[in-house]
Amino acid sequence: MYTLYGLKNCDTCKKALKSLDAAGKQVRFVDIRQDADLASKVPYWLENLDPKKVLNARSTTWRGLSDAEKASAEGEGLAGLLIENPTLIKRPIIEADDYLSVGWNKEVELALT
């Protein structure tokens, strides 16, 4: 079973869910705004994925942050910033027993479907 962390209205998450469903995969969707335990998940993701890939620096939320808030994204402050602002997390993050990825592209799709 895969767990997909994302947002209900995210087109990329919808595309990933549709592809995984079409491939017959069981997927549990977790909304990162409402249902995710970000206090435990974000540190795990940052430890096991490239932190620069976990941060969605192209988002509207990122553009709306102050320079001081953006500066806090360096090093240890990134986890707190992502927990406080879940829309800064690049989506989807997909977990399985021995698999963890961020984003949805052909490489991820081929690995999972």
Which tens digit of pLDDT belongs to each residue from 8-35? Answer: 999 999 999 999 999 999 999 999 999 9
Give percent of the chain with pLDDT exceeding 70: 100
Q: What is the pLDDT of residue 11?
A: 94
Summarize pLDDT for 33-84 with one digit per residue, the tens.
Answer: 999 999 999 999 999 999 989 999 888 889 888 888 888 888 778 999 999 9
Q: What is the pLDDT of residue 72?
A: 82
What does DSSP say about strands 27-31 and 93-96: parallel, antiparallel, or unpaired? unpaired
| 3, 8, 9, 10: the active-site residue | 10
**Structure tokens of 27?**
């997927």
Which range among 46-50, 68-72, 88-92, 105-109 shows the weakest confidence by mean pLDDT?
A: 68-72
Q: Which of 10, 9, 23 is nearest to 108 (CA)?
A: 23
Kindly indicate the confidence band of residue 112, based on its pLDDT and cuts at 50, 70 and 90: confident
**Structure tokens of 92?**
């989807």
Q: What is the pLDDT of residue 77?
A: 87
State the pTM of this model: 0.89
Q: What is the pLDDT of residue 3?
A: 96
- Distance, in Å, from the CA atom of 81 to the CA atom of 51, rounded to the nearest integer, reads 12
Domains of the chain, earliest start first: 2-112 (3.40.30.10)
Active site residue 13: no
